[in-house]
Amino acid sequence: MKIVPIILSGGSGARLWPLSRSQYPKQYQALTSDNTMLQETILRLEGLKELSSPIIVCNKDHRFLVAEQCREINIYDPTILLEPVGRNTAPAIAVAALQVKKELVNAILLILPADHLIQDIEVFHDAINTAIKQAKKEKLVTFGIVPTEANTGYGYIKYSSDSGHDSFTVEKFIEKPDAHAAKMYLDQGMYLWNGGIFLFQVDVLLDELALYSPNLVKLAEVAINNSSKDLDFIRLEKNAFEQSPDISIDYALMEKSSNVVVVPLDAQWSDVGSWTALHDVSIQDNNGNTIQGDVLIEETTNTYINAGHHLVVATGVKDLIIIDTPNATLVLGKEYAQDVKNIVKKLKVDNRSEQFCHRKVFRPWGWYDSIESGENFQVKKLHVAPGCKLSLQKHHYRSEHWVVVSGVATATNGEKILNLAKGESTFIPQGVKHSLENETNEPLEIIEIQSGVYLGEDDIVRFEDVYGRLDDE
C-alpha cells in the first residue's frame, strides 16, 4: 500500500514576523538548516518504504516558490494543489485525499505540516511504521508529541492507560491549557502534545469525514472535480473551496470519532512557532546567544539576533529577540514572544504593507528589491534567473528606465527588441508594451527606475505570460 505524504503548506507563520510574512512565510525559509523547512519536511521522509511523490497544498501565490524548492532537492513530480483562499486543515486534507483517490485504488495518507522541525529521523520513521500498522486496522492515527515541559501553547491528547505499548486509544483532545493544568498534565503522564501530524487510509478518512462533516466532503468533491490544470499546478475550484468551513481536522473529525489512536513521538520535535522556540533549537554560544548575520555583541546573554540587512550591535542586554530586515526591525522581550501575532494584526488594521511584504519580493522569474521610493518615483533592483522572462505588459500610470548592471538583457520596448549589455539602458514610456528576458546561462540584474503618479504593483496589464498569470495577480 502506497504511502502518500500530504504536506500542508498554507500557513503564514505570523509569530515569526518580520522574517516570516504572508508573501514569504517561514516554511519557505531556511531557519533551522541550509534547506527550507518545506524541503526538510520532504527530505526527512527518505528511506520510508512504498513512499509516493508528495502532494503539497499551498496558497496559489506561493506556487512557484513550492515548485522551485522541490526542484532544488530533485523532487520533479509533486502534485501541487492551489488553495484560492485559506480554509484550515480539514478542507485541505479532504481535497488532497480526493486527489489521491483519483490516482490510487487505496493508499495511506501521511499528513505533515510544512513548517515543523523533527531532528531524530530514525525515531520519526519508527513512529510512522507503528502508525501504518494501526492504519491497516482502519484506525485514524494521530501522533502525540512527548512533552518536555508544561507548555501552554499546545493542545493536549489524553490517552487510555489500558492501551498497547506503542499506540494508545485516545480518550479526549484538550484545548490549550492554563499553566496549572499544563503542569498537572506533565506530572501525571498520559498526556501528549497535539502536533498536527496524522496517518490513515484514504478510504477510512473520507468515510469518517462524510459521517461527521458531510458538507465539507461535498464541497471538497466539487473543488476537486471542477479543478483546472495550470502549468504544473492544480487549481481548486474557487467557489466551492471558498464555501468550505474554516475548520481544523481536529474539530471536523478527530475529536468526534471513536476510532482514533495516538502514537507517541519523541523525536526532538518543534513547531518553531515563536522566536523563543526557534532560539531553543538553534546553536547558542556559552552565554545562550544565537546570532545570525553581521552582529557584534558585548555583555549580552540569552538573546537571539538575526541581522540580515546591516550591522546590528547589542551591548548589555539579555532575554531579547532582535530581528532586523530591510523594511522592519523587531525588538522583543522573550516573555512576549507569543504577542507577535498581535503586532501583525495591528499592522493589518493600519494597512501597513510590512504585515505581508518584504522589501525583496520573489517572482517566478527571480526577484525584485525595492531600494528607494518617494513622491512619484521608485527604484528597484531586478534579478532575472537564467532562461526566465517577465510578462509582456504595459502600465497606465508610470514609465520605466532600465539600466543593466550585470548580464545581458533581451528587452522588448514597443516594436523594438534590444540586446543590452552591462551599462546599457532603455526608456519605456507610459502605456508602451514591454518585456524583459534573460536568454543567457548567467543571472541578469538591472536597475529599474519607475516614475509616475501611481506606482502600485496592480498597475500591470499583461498580454503574454509564460507563467500563466494573465488572469491571476
Q: If you count them, how many residues does the chain have? A: 473
What separation in angstroms does the CA of 23 have from each of 10, 29, 52, 87, 367? 11, 12, 29, 17, 12
CB 437 within 8 A of CB 418: no
The yes-or-no verdict on residue 323 having pLDDT over 60 is yes
Q: What single-letter DSSP state applies at residue 74?
A: T
Phi, psi dihedrals of residue 188, rounded to the nearest 5°? -75, -25
Nearest to 24 by CA among 56, 54, 69: 69
Q: What single-letter DSSP state applies at residue 306?
A: E
Q: Residue 4 region, left (φ>0) first, then alpha (ψ -120 to 50), else beta?
A: beta
The yes-or-no verdict on residue 472 having pLDDT over 70 is no
When pLDDT is averaged across residues 422-431 and rounded to a whole number, the result is 97
The yes-or-no verdict on residue 471 having pLDDT over 60 is no
CA–CA separation, 118 vs 265, rounded Å? 10
At 245, the amino acid letter reads P
When pLDDT is averaged across residues 47-58 and rounded to a whole number, the result is 96
Q: What single-letter DSSP state applies at residue 318?
A: B
Cβ atoms within 10 Å, residue 462: 17
pLDDT digits (tens, 9 = 90+) for 175-207: 999 999 999 999 998 999 999 999 999 999 999
pLDDT digits (tens, 9 = 90+) for 233-272: 999 999 999 999 999 999 999 999 999 999 999 999 999 9
pLDDT at residue 473 in the model: 47
At residue 280, the 3 state secondary structure works out as helix
CA–CA separation, 81 vs 55, rounded Å? 7
pLDDT at residue 189 in the model: 87
Q: What is the 3-state secondary structure (H, E, C) of 109-123?
A: EEEEECCCEECCHHH
On average, the pLDDT of the chain sits at 94
At residue 256, the 3 state secondary structure works out as coil
Q: Record the cell numbers describing residue 410, joined without a space.
A: 533581451
Identify whether 147 is preceded by a cis peptide bond (ω within 30 of 0): no
Assign 164 a pLDDT band (cuts: 50, 70, 90): low
The yes-or-no verdict on residue 163 having pLDDT over 70 is no
pLDDT digits (tens, 9 = 90+) for 347-374: 999 999 898 889 998 899 999 999 999 9
In the chain, % of residues over pLDDT 90: 89
Which residues does residue 5 pair with via DSSP β-bridges, in sequence order?
110
Domains in the chain: ranges and CATH: 2-270 (3.90.550.10), 282-349 (no CATH), 360-464 (2.60.120.10)
Q: Record the cell numbers describing residue 186, joined without a space.
A: 506533565
Give kind and range of the element (H or E) at residue 37.
Answer: helix 37-43
In the chain, % of residues over pLDDT 70: 99
Which residues does residue 125 pair with via DSSP β-bridges, in sequence order?
none
Give me the helices (H) in 385-469, please: none
CB 182 within 8 A of CB 152: yes
Query: What pTM was estimated for this model as a whole?
Result: 0.90
pLDDT at residue 192 in the model: 95
The yes-or-no verdict on residue 13 having pLDDT over 90 is no
pLDDT at residue 425 in the model: 97
pLDDT digits (tens, 9 = 90+) for 60-83: 999 999 999 999 999 999 999 999
Assign 331 a pLDDT band (cuts: 50, 70, 90): very high
Which residues does residue 198 pair with via DSSP β-bridges, in sequence order?
111, 142
Residue 394 CB-half CA count within 13 A: 9
The yes-or-no verdict on residue 278 having pLDDT over 90 is yes
pLDDT digits (tens, 9 = 90+) for 113-156: 999 999 999 999 999 999 999 999 999 999 999 999 998 889 99
Nearest to 264 by CA among 120, 49, 138: 120
Q: What single-letter DSSP state applies at residue 336?
A: G
CA–CA separation, 49 vs 3, rounded Å? 8
